[in-house]
């Protein structure tokens, strides 16, 4: 859900969304840098790429089921890997891995 608020003094319209509120509550400084100053992030978390890739593979699985077909493990892994590579290339940012993982651990 998005709520649009018009600020009469500044003559601009700003939308308020769950994502924006959540980002502000988690870290007001990050919200200010990202949403107000529009500074790009310095890196992309590996968990974000992993989540996007898993989401795409699950979407393929359900799409095939709706079509009455099966999505094999190879198809799902191919989708996951392609999405992983595309997301990294699209973001054009270094990937930051967690303390206990790296690309090999996430692909196990």
Q: What is the pLDDT of residues 24-82, one digit of tens each?
A: 999 999 999 988 898 988 888 888 899 999 999 999 999 999 999 999 999 999 999 99
Q: How far apart are CA 105 and CA 24, in angstroms?
A: 31
**Position 13 pLDDT exceeds 80:** no
State the pLDDT at residue 5. 53
Helix or strand (DSSP H, E) at 27: none
State the pLDDT at residue 74. 95
Letter string b/e over residues 7-35, b meaning 16 or more CB atoms within 10 A of that residue's CB = eeeeeeeeeeeeebeebbeeeeeebeebe
Helical axes 73-91 vs 46-66, angle rounded to 10°: 140
Where is pLDDT greater, at 36 or 9?
Answer: 36
3 close to 15: Cβ distance less than 8 angstroms: yes
Confidence of residue 2 (pLDDT cuts 50, 70, 90): low
Q: How far apart are CA 18 and CA 3, in angstroms?
A: 9
């Amino acid at each position: 859900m998005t709520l649009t608020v018009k600020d009469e003094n500044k003559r601009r319209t700003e939308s308020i969304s769950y994502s924006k509120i959540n980002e502000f509550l988690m870290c007001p400084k990050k919200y200010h840098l990202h949403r107000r100053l529009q500074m790009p992030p310095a890196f992309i978390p590996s968990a974000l790429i992993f989540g996007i890739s898993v989401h795409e593979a699950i979407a393929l699985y359900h799409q095939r089921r709706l079509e009455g077909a099966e999505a094999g493990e190879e198809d799902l892994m191919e989708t996951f890997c392609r999405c992983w590579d595309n997301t990294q290339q699209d973001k054009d940012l270094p990937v930051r891995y967690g303390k206990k993982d790296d690309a090999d651990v996430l692909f196990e």
